[in-house]
Amino acid sequence: MCDLTQDQVATFPHSLLAPAFARSFVRDHACPAHTNGARDDLVLLASELVTASLLDGRPPVTVRLACRTTDLELRVADTDAGLPGEQGTPGSLAIGFALGLVIVEKLSSAWGSTTRPAGQETWCRLSTGLPGGRDRPRPIAATRPGEG
């Protein structure tokens, strides 16, 4: 966890304005020291994940933003038990949903979806390009049997 910023959480109602609110939330609460040039990408990722939750999930939509120094983590949860794309939205909405996940795939260093007791959560990580310092786990020295 970053020493400068705490995890930030916001919940949005089912509204066409939720992606705009999420973009504003990320702009206002992303760690200023570690986002560097990643802020715009993080804002876009928030918009895409919130839009996906609106298209394929159930309200409310909760956004959690965390800085780990080496990466920024964004989690978007809703109360639908299905994972993104499982139930699918027919027509042009499904195409928009799929394109949003392509954007998430291209911009993030890792992403995925998990089911939770109260719904589902989609998360992504965006590398800051910064060294981790004490936030980065130290490698464990490997020894062979019979050594050290």
Q: Is residue 59 part of a domain?
A: yes
Alpha carbon 78 to chain centroid distance?
A: 13
Residue 143: which pLDDT band, with cuts at 50, 70 and 90?
very low
Q: Is residue 119 part of a domain?
A: yes
CA 27/CA 50 separation, integer angstroms: 15
Q: Is residue 113 part of a domain?
A: yes
Q: Show the domain range for 26.
A: 8-127
CATH assignment at residue 88 = 3.30.565.10
**Total domains in the fold of the chain:** 1
Structure confidence by residue, pLDDT tens digits, 33-64: 888 778 899 999 999 999 988 887 888 999 99
pLDDT for the residue numbered 58: 83
Q: Is residue 138 part of a domain?
A: no
Q: Is residue 134 part of a domain?
A: no
Q: Is residue 93 part of a domain?
A: yes
pLDDT for the residue numbered 121: 92
pLDDT for the residue numbered 82: 64
- Does this model's pTM top 0.85? no
Structure confidence by residue, pLDDT tens digits, 66-103: 998 888 999 999 988 665 554 444 444 455 557 788 89
- What is the phi-psi region of residue 98: left when phi exceeds 0, alpha when psi lies from -120 to 50, beta otherwise? alpha
